Amino acid sequence: MSLAKNIIGAVALTSVLAMTHFGAVHAGDGTSAWRPMKPLHAINFDVGRKHVLSYFLKKKGVCDLTMVVSDRPDVAPRGSKLPSLQSVRFEAVIEGGKTARFDTAEGNSLEYACPIGAHVMTVRALNQVALSTENRK
C-alpha cells in the first residue's frame, strides 16, 4: 500500500472512531463475552483510557488484523468541534486456530481469536489482575 492510502485510511478510521464512540463496549471487571467480527466490519472497544477500532481481512486462511488505538474521545457539546484525535495503527497476522492478546499499560487487554478458515474472528475485552505468589500457601 502506498503512503497516501495509509494516511487516508488512518484519517477515515479515526473519523469513524470518533463517530462510533457511543457504540463501544466498555471493558469492565473480569472478562466480557466473545463478540464476532466479520471481514472488513469494524468493531469498537473502550479499554481503560483507550478506544480501539479493529477490523480484519481474510487472507489465505489467516486473519490480517488492523487495530487503530487512540485516547477515548470526550463527547463534544452540540455545535462545538470534536477534539483532535491522535491515533496509532497496529497490524498483526493471526493464524487460523490461534489467539492473540494485546495489552494496555493499564492492565486491560483485548483478545482476538482467528478460527481455522478465518471466516470470522471473535474478540473480547479482558481486565487483568496481577496476583502475588508470595501470599499463597
For residue 64, what are the domain limits?
Answer: 3-73+86-127
- Per the structure, the count of domains in the chain is 1
Structural domain contains residue 81: no
Per-residue pLDDT of the chain (137 residues; tens, 9 = 90+): 554 444 444 434 433 333 333 334 444 445 578 999 999 999 998 887 788 999 999 999 999 999 998 887 665 556 666 666 678 899 999 999 999 999 877 778 899 999 999 999 999 988 766 555 665 54
Between the alpha carbon of residue 130 and those of residues 43, 106, 133, the distances in Å are: 27, 11, 10
Assigned C-alpha cell, 49: 483510557
Structural domain contains residue 112: yes
* Distance of alpha carbon 15 from the chain centroid: 15
| CA dihedral angle for residue 9, residue 114, residue 94, residue 117, rounded to 10 degrees | -100
Structural domain contains residue 18: yes
Structural domain contains residue 133: no
Class of residue 20 by CB neighbours under 10 A (exposed 0-12, middle 13-18, buried 19+): middle
Structural domain contains residue 59: yes
Structural domain contains residue 93: yes
Structural domain contains residue 137: no
Answer for the pair 122, 98: CB distance below 8 angstroms, yes or no: no
Structural domain contains residue 107: yes
Between the alpha carbon of residue 60 and those of residues 5, 95, 116, 118, the distances in Å are: 23, 10, 11, 8
